[in-house]
Structure 1
Amino acid sequence: MEKNRIMEAFLSLGLLVLAVLCVAVPFFVLFTGDGTYSWQFGDPATKKMMAEIALLFVLLSGILLLGKRPAVRWGKTALVCLIFCWGHVIFLPMTVSALYLGYVILAGRFVRTVLLGQKEIEDGWMADFILGVSAVLCAFCLLSAFKTGSIAQLRLFSAASGAALYLWAALSGGFGRAAAWLKDSARRDGFRKEGLQKAEFQKKEFQIEGFQGKNRTLWALLTAFIIVMILVQAGRMNISLDFDTLWYGVRSEYVLDNGTGIYENPGMVGMAYVYAKGLETLALPLSDLASHSYLLALNLWIAAAGLMGIYRLAGLFMNRTWALAAAALSSCIPGIMNMAISAKPDVITWVIQIFMVYYMACYIKNRKFALLALSGGAYLLSLTMKSTALVFSTAVFGMSGLYLLGRRLLSLRAPLRQWLLLAAPAGALTGIWARTMMITGMPVTSVFTSIFAVLGFQMKYPFATSGLPQNYEEASNLAVLLRRLFHMLLMPTGKDMGHVVFAWGSPLMLFLIGACLAAALLMAAAWKRRRAGESGGQPDRKQNRESAKKRLSLYAHVAFWPFLAVNLVSLVMLYQIDGNYFMLLYTGIIIGSLSLLHSLKQAGHRRFLRTVSWLLVPIMAFNVLMTAESNWAWSLGFSEIQWANKGRVNHEALQHEKMVQAGNEQIWNILAEDETTRVIAFGDHPGCLQFPCVVQSYKDITSPWGNVELVNTVEAFEEYMAYAQADYAYVEAGFIGEGNWEWSYGLVRRMIERGTLTDLVFEHGNVLARVDLDGVSSMETRENLRLFDENYITYERKQGGK
């Protein structure tokens, strides 16, 4: 025992040093001197935001801790959240997107319980999400196939079917059961399936009647923390429209569905426009509203569902107090939660992957085929959301399949209705990939095109086949891996960390890895003592028998380590590292670490675990600061509080105002006459894309997002303009010239001289030209070139202040 205490003391000291490093190093590197966020840290907006966060945490903790009745407790919590949302002008987006997500989940519940008769499924709300998203995607794809899929028609379909589903839920007692479930969740944590789950979790730390004593205090603090971290994202939603969101995330009405549905070819070569568009298709009814926050709010609600999924998944490996801690730790990871206010599909892909792993784990425990089918359906659905899911989802699901085969747990004999749980996800995948296939000739684009080319697929004009990513580093792969791991774990700075610093896994990952190593040493020492007979007695025979918990533990190892290897290979190969690529890895490290630490606590190392728990507090506090300061849009603080408001911000009006200020009022009015007008813009990306029509930038067309062959000659560019059915070309003042984008400047001048660009409109140095592919060189075209040279403000003239 004395040796054990000494070992614990040394390991605790080591973790203390590690915790200090995990907070001090990134803080000084990022927030002091010339650090990435040093300019923000001392700004009054930051101080105001942090004060508001602290007030919210104290207020919500007090309500949850002191409230005696669940209805009062949750009612006051909801009121605080409502006041916060109204003050920050996001009430309508949060409310409407919640209703829309509720419609999607109800659609899934209808498919699951009425059409397929699968009522007895663990955590059916996750199944309803999977099936609901799949069913809505199938419906939208079918409507588009018959050219009746305009956004207005899809919104009408959603409103009608949504009203019917809400009415069905009310008449069938669904709302009453939901209220009872919420009440029961507050009291008993929602573990309604007694059987195996109750047997698995019936431990000292797991009070089936509710959190008591210290656990109740911890429950209140962790729950308040999670809610606050969600509100942090909501509070800056209106001012956090990032690069990719403005590029394609909020432009679905022009680049995805421009009047007849998703199968219309928008004539765009940029890969961002032909990726799998599952999230964008799902959100189409919200995509043309005046505020872009409707789309961001939908993503935020989906992220909240992901945190609930983490809680349930972690609950399979530990008691619910620790499972709640896993959700709380995940909520303060910038690489996870900062994606919740971007219109990118990373969050919904991550959530579906969590559900995929959860139902696979449930199948391993309970051996019910319906659970396996739901896991398979989640895998298929994840492929509709993001191209990288083809790698990461396949890695996890593939290893899960190998585990089932190796342990002889795979049983495919099941009723047809359970097999049909795969139908909607398979239909959604077919419908979404069909769009990419019709436009490009390949089911998946990006780096996978070279692989599909080997399989016999042929890329259509004007798209280019992309090779596998390369890091273009002179150092060895091992050196690159070690350097990048150092930056990813402790200091996200450097030339290839530009997309990590605001989507970082945070130093929490490094600390948890250190804690796991310490826990492994303690458990190894305990095992060695047992082998030497120091522990006394013989091991319980029950511990040697395979149990559901052991099967889950083995499955976790089989799935996690190969998945980690895939992530490390990606970390080496990628030229541009995006921190959000590793969201599922962050989650796996958190759940795996807490599971190991939970086992250590059961082995009697409670003092060591108390030390680890207290050391997590400053790291979580730093993560709050890091998450609040960082985001993809580089916005500062929360959006301004306005008590007198319309419930939402009109982003379209703000974009119009910005374009007018840039001297584009007349040009805007011309392009706004017809939203199907197609424009090629030579301007700053993505700002030049904000006209209310189908716009692609020159950057979209050339390398690396498009095909550089299309701009090598003026003839090649004109051929592409014919493919794109371009109506106009827009040239932004001060963007091109002999000193900036010289090649595109030459293209524009030659096309004016050749008569391809005619009817020039000049406005404050900006130029709008009508495309005439039948134009020929003449005196008029030479005069147009003279006028262009005289009136267009080139890059050089702008830099010179002329």
Structure 2
Amino acid sequence: MKNALRKGSDNREVWGEKMVCLFLLCCSFFFFCRFFVDSGNGERLLEKKNLLALGETGIFLLYSFFILLLRKTTLRSRRALLFFLSFPLLLTSYLHRFLLPLLFSFFYFFFLASILCYFLSGKINHFLQRCTSFRYSEKDKTAAFLALPFVLIQISRSNIALDYDSLRYGLRSAWILFSPEGKGGGILSFVQAFFSSHGLINAVYSYPKGLELLTAPLSFFPGYGFLLAFQIWIYIAIAFVLYFLLRDRKDAELALGILTFFFFSSVGNMAITMKTDNLTLLLQLLSLYFYGKGERKNSLSMLILTYSLKPTAVVFSTLLFIGFFLDSLIKGTIGTFFFGKGEPEEKRYFHPFGTKKEGSTALLFVSLLFTCLITLRTFWITGLPFSTTFTGIFKAMGFSVKWPFNLDAHVDYSGALSLQETLLSFGKRLFFFLFYPVGEDMAHVGIAWSGIAFPTILFLAAGNALKMILRRFSSGRKKEKGDVKDIELPLVFFLISFFSLLSFVMLWQIDGNYYSLWECLALLLAFGSPLWKKEEERQKRKWRILLAPFLYLPALLTTLVTSWAGAVGFTPIDPINKGYYDHLSVEMEKQAERGSLPLFLKMAENPRNHVLAVSETPDCYRIPCVVESITDVEGSGGSPGLYDDPLYFAWFLKWAKTDYIYIEKSFLEEEREARAKEMLIQMANLGILIEPEFANLTKTQESLPEYLLVKVNQSRLEYAWREESYPVLTKEEEEDTKSVRNWIENGDASQDKCIQRVK
């Protein structure tokens, strides 16, 4: 009788979840259609390049369906499965000039993973053994081939999807992180370069540089593809870790859960950037995996490593640690991390790093050493251990920010709103984030969106997490073994959920990639729902058929037309190519077309040239030397106070060891650059801008040149640095001053002066 009542209760629970899920799916699909049109994605899809990309994606799908249709013949062995998965991967990579980057980055990723596993287990071949022993089911094969088009989309467009942040720092490590200041070489100069600011003032350049240090060998290969391909393997590795986490959960729907992960463009679109989000996510999920296995030292090691990658890890990784701590308190196992059992007398002795059973002490030491090294760099450059994160707290502790950095976080806008306005703003943002990411403050959500599936997943996850916690603390009934096992997952889910939702109130501009950990935790909880239990197998098959049109195709289209860089289409197919995309050659062709190539070559002749670019971003970051945009100086993360006085700006030019200032007239004439224009005129009047070189004069020479490169007069900056009066300008310096000032001001005499200077 009790079993019958329990079965009836489970059935009602399943049908209740199905009805709510169906309602959420219908809402998501309706608002997705509106979002696709209102965000401009519909128009983007109809562009020629995207239509060609859509056609190629259709071929990927047909290939997957064909292999799955004949899977009894084609997928009879492990080798056959690897062949049919790798064939389109390698062919697509070659046609889109990504083959060598994909292969080289794979071997490098495999090398790093083997080193990590060596410190983990003491065996150099441990990672290889885990890979060869991997077991999969027929459902897993289906999920792999249905997920394949999502990976191929990212590979096909990686070369042309260079986004602002990646070009700003992640892709330029060879120049702005590892380029030695002097003429020396060797390890010492490499280390000195790593700990140098290189005259770069923006906070992003003092972020934790763990990813850049790990991928340093790839940064010296031609083109940016080798670094971007490394991110593809991280993306795939995240899917495998989620697979292992789901596999350890009772009654979890494994294959469908992993396939749904690829629907998250918030993670997928990060796979073609050099942002640190995906590697941070990978380590955080590994921490959760190791904790679930009882290997607490390994879990702690993964969390420590995340602090070397991303400033916000100070928040989210710490929340994971708090969740694990609370779980240990609830289970009554908190003491076993610090105390081990003695073998002979079964007495407890103090072990500061725990017992061997709880993980690798060597890995813990390595993670501490690596993170300390990265944190020391930030501290050495800025005076704070973490830039932009908890700045006020560090200042209160006695830390001081070094000049000319300004690391105060400008994130909190909630104080400007009343309580009612705050609640309305929160509700509106939550709705837009989940269903309809359109609007100015949602600009960075639409390009890295959690997708149409997330509202349903979030509902299932919240319900499951709440039920697990209530079961654990319910009184008056006998506790079952399974009640305690996974209590850490709902705990960390609610902690991350709370602070993720709090960010909707605190931040004016939210990015879709901020919430990838929240989404993955929700995924793990959602696919342990009663909806997927084995006794509901017959209904579950029907449910899958219903899910297909609501989830798969919208996710595929969203991934296809959105990216962090706003890239259109795929990298043009080249049947005969050298295996990689030469970004420098492409950039030189572009510079030649617009007439700025002579100035580009002048700056690029020495990769150690320090250039301040008063020009459009991120295009100026493609110049292969130490380039900093004027936007970096006076924009978000910069130090706007440098514009308050010409003396301050002269100090900055001296501190930054600026060799050249590169100016584009169209950029300088924008209204928002009025202060920069005024400051440059003042620098010219002081004789600091000399030896002007102009480019892109029209054939008739009846208009002004569009581009100007001036050398910074370091000898005059010495007087500003010592706060002494400037000496009288020489005749040549006066000519340079007039020429530069007239070009900037665009006065009556500027045209003649510029033309004379060019002649």
Q: TM-score range by the shorter chain?
A: 0.7 to 0.9
Which stretch shows the higher mean deviation, 608-617 or 275-284? 608-617
2:229 corresponds in structure 1 to 297
Give the conservation status (yes or no) of the 8 Å contact 1:249–1:344. yes
Which stretch shows the higher mean deviation, 671-680 or 509-518? 509-518
* Stretches of structure 1 lacking an aligned partner (at least 5 in a row): 126-173, 190-210, 364-370, 532-540
2:105 corresponds in structure 1 to 97
Partner residue of 2:709 out of 764, 768, 787: 768
Tell me which amino acid in the other structure corresponds to 1:756: I
Aligned-pair CA distance for 1:48: 2.9
Give the conservation status (yes or no) of the 8 Å contact 2:281–2:516. yes
Aligned-pair CA distance for 1:747: 1.1
2:60 corresponds in structure 1 to 56
Q: Distance in 2 between matches of 1:794 and 1:310?
A: 59
Counterpart mapping for 1:140-219 below 5 A:
177=129, 182=132, 184-185=133-134, 188-189=135-136, 211=137, 216=138, 218-219=139-140
Aligned-pair CA distance for 1:511: 1.9
Q: Distance in 2 between matches of 1:40 and 1:312?
A: 37
Aligned-pair CA distance for 1:19: 1.7
2:183 corresponds in structure 1 to none
1:311 corresponds in structure 2 to 243
1:16 corresponds in structure 2 to 22
Partner residue of 1:586 out of 519, 523, 527: 519
Task: String of CA shifts for 1:61-91, please: whole Å, max 9, x gaps.
Answer: 4435232122223223222221121112110
1:455 corresponds in structure 2 to 397
656 and 795 in structure 1: CA distance in 2 versus 1, 3 angstrom threshold = farther
353 and 7 in structure 1: CA distance in 2 versus 1, 3 angstrom threshold = closer
Give the conservation status (yes or no) of the 8 Å contact 2:264–2:450. yes
Partner residue of 2:258 out of 327, 330, 334: 327
Partner residue of 1:787 out of 728, 739, 743: 739
Give the conservation status (yes or no) of the 8 Å contact 2:300–2:364. yes
Aligned-pair CA distance for 1:346: 0.7
Counterpart mapping for 1:609-620 below 5 A:
609-610=540-541, 612-618=543-549, 619-620=551-552
Pair 1:554 & 2:505 matched: no
328 and 478 in structure 1: CA distance in 2 versus 1, 3 angstrom threshold = same
Partner residue of 1:725 out of 649, 652, 657: 657
Q: Distance in 2 between matches of 1:103 and 1:18?
A: 44
Partner residue of 1:47 out of 51, 56, 65: 51
Task: Give the secondary structure class of the aligned counterpart of 1:373.
Answer: helix
Task: String of CA shifts for 1:424-475, please: whole Å, max 9, x gaps.
Answer: 0001001111111110011100142222111211111111141462135535
Counterpart mapping for 1:341-380 below 5 A:
341-363=272-294, 371-380=295-304
Task: Give the secondary structure class of the aligned counterpart of 2:711.
Answer: strand
Give the conservation status (yes or no) of the 8 Å contact 1:681–1:695. yes
1:750 corresponds in structure 2 to 682
Q: Distance in 2 between matches of 1:737 and 1:501?
A: 30
Q: Distance in 1 between matches of 2:490 and 2:78?
A: 38
Q: Distance in 2 between matches of 1:584 and 1:7?
A: 28
Pair 1:437 & 2:437 matched: no
2:435 corresponds in structure 1 to 490
Counterpart mapping for 1:584-733 below 5 A:
584-597=517-530, 601-602=533-534, 604-606=535-537, 609-610=540-541, 612-618=543-549, 619-733=551-665
Q: Distance in 2 between matches of 1:452 and 1:615?
A: 52
Q: Distance in 2 between matches of 1:73 and 1:18?
A: 36
Tell me which amino acid in the other structure corresponds to 2:396: V
Partner residue of 2:445 out of 481, 500, 503: 500
Q: Distance in 1 between matches of 2:319 and 2:519?
A: 15
429 and 41 in structure 1: CA distance in 2 versus 1, 3 angstrom threshold = same
Pair 1:384 & 2:305 matched: no
Pair 1:110 & 2:118 matched: yes
Aligned-pair CA distance for 1:107: 2.0
Task: Give the secondary structure class of the aligned counterpart of 2:441.
Answer: coil
Tell me which amino acid in the other structure corresponds to 2:608: T
2:348 corresponds in structure 1 to none
What is the RMSD of the two structures over their aligned residues, measured on CA atoms? 3.1
Pair 1:510 & 2:455 matched: yes
Pair 1:254 & 2:258 matched: no
Give the conservation status (yes or no) of the 8 Å contact 2:688–2:713. yes
Aligned-pair CA distance for 1:405: 2.7
Share of identical aligned residues, percent?
Answer: 24
Give the conservation status (yes or no) of the 8 Å contact 1:82–1:91. yes
* Stretches of structure 2 lacking an aligned partner (at least 5 in a row): 181-188, 341-353, 697-704, 717-726
Give the conservation status (yes or no) of the 8 Å contact 1:441–1:457. yes
Aligned-pair CA distance for 1:118: 10
Q: Distance in 2 between matches of 1:430 and 1:29?
A: 44
2:417 corresponds in structure 1 to 474
74 and 794 in structure 1: CA distance in 2 versus 1, 3 angstrom threshold = farther
Give the conservation status (yes or no) of the 8 Å contact 1:333–1:505. yes
Q: Distance in 2 between matches of 1:762 and 1:422?
A: 56
Q: Distance in 2 between matches of 1:409 and 1:347?
A: 31
1:70 corresponds in structure 2 to 78
Q: Distance in 2 between matches of 1:231 and 1:490?
A: 26
Task: Give the secondary structure class of the aligned counterpart of 2:220.
Answer: coil
2:318 corresponds in structure 1 to 394
Tell me which amino acid in the other structure corresponds to 2:737: L
Q: Distance in 1 between matches of 2:461 and 2:375?
A: 41
Give the conservation status (yes or no) of the 8 Å contact 1:276–1:384. yes
Aligned-pair CA distance for 1:512: 2.2
Tell me which amino acid in the other structure corresponds to 2:312: T
Q: Distance in 2 between matches of 1:61 and 1:70?
A: 19
Q: Distance in 1 between matches of 2:117 and 2:533?
A: 39
Which stretch shows the higher mean deviation, 761-770 or 41-50? 41-50
Task: String of CA shifts for 1:218-237, please: whole Å, max 9, x gaps.
Answer: 33321112222211111111
Task: Give the secondary structure class of the aligned counterpart of 2:59.
Answer: helix
1:166 corresponds in structure 2 to none
Give the conservation status (yes or no) of the 8 Å contact 1:89–1:648. yes
Give the conservation status (yes or no) of the 8 Å contact 2:114–2:124. no
Aligned-pair CA distance for 1:495: 1.9
Q: Distance in 2 between matches of 1:329 and 1:760?
A: 56
Give the TM-score, by structure 1 length.
Answer: 0.80
552 and 231 in structure 1: CA distance in 2 versus 1, 3 angstrom threshold = farther
Task: Give the secondary structure class of the aligned counterpart of 1:735.
Answer: helix
Tell me which amino acid in the other structure corresponds to 2:26: V
555 and 517 in structure 1: CA distance in 2 versus 1, 3 angstrom threshold = closer
Task: String of CA shifts for 1:728-777, please: whole Å, max 9, x gaps.
Answer: 11112321138451111111111111111111112222111111143345
596 and 350 in structure 1: CA distance in 2 versus 1, 3 angstrom threshold = same
Give the TM-score, by structure 2 length.
Answer: 0.84
98 and 8 in structure 1: CA distance in 2 versus 1, 3 angstrom threshold = closer
Q: Distance in 1 between matches of 2:689 and 2:585?
A: 30
Tell me which amino acid in the other structure corresponds to 1:400: F
2:328 corresponds in structure 1 to 404
Q: Distance in 2 between matches of 1:738 and 1:401?
A: 53
Tell me which amino acid in the other structure corresponds to 2:401: M
77 and 611 in structure 1: CA distance in 2 versus 1, 3 angstrom threshold = closer
Tell me which amino acid in the other structure corresponds to 1:39: E
Which stretch shows the higher mean deviation, 588-597 or 471-480? 471-480
Tell me which amino acid in the other structure corresponds to 1:340: A
